[in-house]
Structure 1
Amino acid sequence: MSGPRVDAKVVMLGKESVGKTSLVERYVHQRFLVGPYQNTIGAAFVAKSVQVRDKVVTLGIWDTAGSERYEAMSRIYYRGAKAAIVCYDLTDSSSFLRAKFWVKELQNCEEHCKIYLCGTKTDLIEADRSARQVDYHDVQDFADEIKAQYFETSSKTGRSVEDLFRKVAADYISTTFEVMSEERGVNLEQKKDPFFYSCCHN
């Protein structure tokens, strides 16, 4: 990859067990780990670089804990985020209500953070349509209301996962360089290769 390098902080938010960690694993490592994950405590961090036109965007992804008891801690991790991927499980209607909670939090605390709604586990509803508990049109209406992008993904099959993160990177490039045409001082210094680091993660 070549070209000017820019960094974008991305935060993953959503109820526990909606598949945030699986989504990150699929995007960064191109794998789906079978079996139950241990719940994230605090947050895990991973970075991946992607070429967008003539720029290299390093997405610094914070995978936050979904449990409500870590809610205050999650607020620490989304501060200063340029993008938030708010996840919910397509087979769990309560997870979409929780996603709405995080959207409201972001709107109140990080008004410049771009929001992406992500329905997970499409493989489950493809296998059994009756498993869908969150209506596509309801989410699309909500996405339109909050001016958010909306994706339905599967970490197991890889459906739309790459598209989601590439959209995040492309939007960041567009926004950043529109601002650069009016302001100076955006840091384009070189960064090291992608790396993986877990923070308070068991």
Structure 2
Amino acid sequence: MPRTILYARVSTTEQTASHQLAQAEAAGFAIDEVITDHGVSGVSVPLAERPDGRRLFDILRHGDTLVVRWIDRLGRNYSDVTATVRELLDRGVTIRTVINAMTFDGASTDPMTRAVRDALLGFMAAMAEAQAETTKEAQAAGIAAARERGVYRGRKPSFDREKLDKVVELLAAGTGPAEIARVAGVSRQTVYRIRDDPAAAERALRAWRS
């Protein structure tokens, strides 16, 4: 039986999967399953390389509907987003957005209809990438100004001292990232960041006096 699956990419502490689900349900979607990637960049990490993005690709079947708040939840890289959408449409998956209630599918065989659809999707993907670049430039300017004033502390860590110590302890014991995330109460991406650069994690805590 075809299913309706919501994909929610949560890249900041201000965003939540529950909020995106509530928006989808308020828009009239009956969601069968929610798949969420936490703390993952939509610019540098392709959908197929995200922990739950891979699972999304695995479970979507012909006739299923993929719901996203907006195309930028799939990513903010033009090439990745357009390739992802084409693959899903070719697979027979319908993509629907909560914002503006847009629907994209591969059912039409009319070349003009397909051209208009692809042009709109390309425009949306390009806008998502452009917005990401604008945000990045603004952040860089703000960071530079803060550094000049000597007040820049970097991004607030998503963990406290207790969680950091627990992650480090479990890493040393050889525990897998998924289990560490569950036990310590952090995302897998946080576990990866601590594993890859524990000194940076320590500096972040000190900067925020955690």
Give the TM-score normalised by the residue count of structure 1.
0.32
Q: Which has more strand, going by share of residues?
A: 1
Give the TM-score normalised by the residue count of structure 2.
0.31
Higher relative CO (Cα under 8 Å, sequence separation at least 6) belongs to 1
